[in-house]
Amino acid sequence: MAGQDLCAACIAGEEHPGAIVFDKGLDHVRCALRYDDLSAQLALRLKYADRLDMAGGLSRLIVQAGRDVLTDGALVVPVPLHRTRLISRRYNQAGVLASAISKACGLDLCLDLLHRQRATPRQQGLSAKGRERNVRGAFRVTPRHRDLVKGAHVVLIDDVLTTGSTLKACARVLKRAGAERVDALVLARVVPEGIGAI
């Protein structure tokens, strides 16, 4: 459910395939929508169809879900694309959402705080372990922003959460660089069939 850390099954202590363990890297994760046919179309249009005009409305959904983590002093940071993917796509959909969220909340934004130093194959179709291996070592803090990270409350922004591998990899890098708190806000969360409310 938007604005909650745990679903009803997790609160009851039940193990299920939709559970994601975020270890010590991420402090809080908020998702605006469950990934379904409608939210998939929204995310895909923003990502691949140059529908940047949708960013304002989608960011409002994310802000509503993540109001409790978008606190004064938070630094809004998108999950980065590798430069080759950025060149082919022409924009980073997470960056577009992050810009709109930052503006709506009056929070600082750093579009290049994180750098994707290695081009990784697409995550689609990979297992959870495969996704984790795929992004291991893929991110670093941009050297000129190292001082900005120390003691910071960083709010990562991404479009879709599947296993959490990308967000976890980013959070680990930020915590190692000295971030005090790392939260994540995403537009939609993929939830395995048979799992109730998120």
The per-residue DSSP string of 43-93 comes to HHHHHHS--GGGHHHHHHHHHHHTTTT--TT-EEEEPPPPHHHHHHHSS-H
- Domain housing 76: 24-189
User: Of 122, 123, 133, 130, which Cα lies nearest the Cα of 162?
Assistant: 123
Query: 15-29, 111-125, 166-180 — which one is most confidently predicted on average?
Result: 166-180
Does the pLDDT of residue 30 top 60, yes or no?
yes
Q: What is the mean pLDDT of the chain?
A: 83
Instruction: Provide the pLDDT for residue 9.
Output: 55
Band of pLDDT at residue 137, cut at 50, 70 and 90: confident
pLDDT at 194: 56
The residue ranking higher by pLDDT, 141 or 121, is 141
Between CA 185 and CA 26 the distance in angstroms is 11
Give the best-scoring range by mean pLDDT among 60-74, 127-141, 183-197. Answer: 60-74
195 within a domain of the structure (yes/no): no
pLDDT at 18 over 60: no
User: Is residue 175 scored above 80 in pLDDT?
Assistant: yes
State the CATH number of the domain containing residue 162: 3.40.50
Q: What is the reported pLDDT for 1?
A: 38
Which one, of 92, 110, 104, lies nearest residue 154 by Cα? 110
On whether residue 11 sits in a domain, the answer given is no
In this predicted structure, the answer to whether residue 173 has a pLDDT above a threshold of 90 is yes
In a domain, 4, yes or no: no
Residue 113 lies in a domain: yes
CB contact at 8 A, 58 and 19 = no
C-alpha 139: how far from chain center: 14
Higher pLDDT, 128 or 89: 89
Position 191 scores a pLDDT of: 82
What is the number of structural domains in the chain? 1
Residue 65, pLDDT score = 94
Q: What is the mean pLDDT of residues 110-114?
A: 97
DSSP 8-class letter at 5:
S
Asked if 41 and 51 touch (Cβ cutoff 8 Å), the reply is no
Amino acid at residue number 96? V
In a domain, 196, yes or no: no
User: Mind giving me the DSSP string for 122-172?
Assistant: --TT--HHHHHHHHTT-EEE-GGGHHHHTT-EEEEEEEEESSSHHHHHHHH
Note whether residue 18 is domain-resident: no
Residue with tokens 């799992």: 195
Task: Look at residue 12 and tell me if it is in a domain.
Answer: no
Residue 195 pLDDT exceeds 80: no
Residues with Cβ within 8 Å of 33's Cβ and at least 6 positions away in sequence, in order, are 39, 42, 61, 187, 188, 189
Residue 3 backbone phi and psi in degrees, to 5:
85, 5
Its pTM stands at 0.82
**What is the sign of the dihedral through the CA atoms of 78, 101, 74 and 67?**
negative
